[in-house]
Copies of this chain bind each other. A is one copy, B any other.
């Protein structure tokens, strides 16, 4: 696997040979590597050694193995989908997500009533165990098939007295609209992490070997920077990348103050 070994290890040498052959063009992307028995013959080593070498290449994301068929050189995966994380608001006050994608719903949104965990309670600045709506969506980009797991957490305190109490499964941009109607000046904070997927995430997001997921938390802040809403966003990192727009913040104390 990935640990740093002395390069003298036989399987490391075999892995290096195969890697060289791949980069030299002997095995272009998509091509089948020699089968295990052929590699055994070619390098004069035993099967565990060959399997160990292939496992190393697989862990690097260079090679993909299919049971019953063989090993194949993976296409160098530059993410095809760029998700623009900007938010725009038109003159009528409607919010729009800047990523152009029109996401398909793979499944119907599923709403639950749950409670905050330690992590989400901290992010929302509420007591642990606070009641909230959780709405899960499994989305798909029709152009690339890229899947996205999206979860919206709406604390009861936020939903109370708004349309959200009746329709907690509204689209996020609609939720923003409702909160803005309620008199909030909205800003957002996003936190981006990457980690290896859990087994169930691998399945639902169709994540290949040696591929991390991008895990994003978006907190919607209202007046006084009060956290109102938390969204979670998970996507396979070989399919998607995130873009952000940064503008220079001016210090708070300014001559020209608005309003």
Question: Interface residues, chain A, CB within 8 Å of chain B?
Answer: 1-4, 55, 58-61, 65, 78-79, 82, 85-91, 95, 98, 119, 186-196, 198-199, 202-203, 209-214, 218, 237-238, 241-251
Partner of A1, one of B58, B78, B187, B249: B58
Q: Which residues of B contact A245 (CB under 8 A)?
A: 187-190, 246, 249
Q: Which residues of B contact A251 (CB under 8 A)?
A: 88-91
- Chain B's closest residue to A78 (CB) is B119
Residue pairs across A and B with Cβ atoms less than 8 A apart, 27 shown, are A1-B1, A1-B55, A1-B59, A1-B209, A2-B210, A3-B65, A3-B209, A4-B202, A60-B196, A60-B198, A61-B196, A86-B246, A86-B249, A87-B247, A88-B248, A88-B249, A89-B249, A187-B245, A188-B245, A188-B247, A190-B246, A194-B194, A194-B213, A196-B212, A212-B212, A218-B246, A247-B247
Main secondary structure of the interface of A (DSSP, over half): mixed
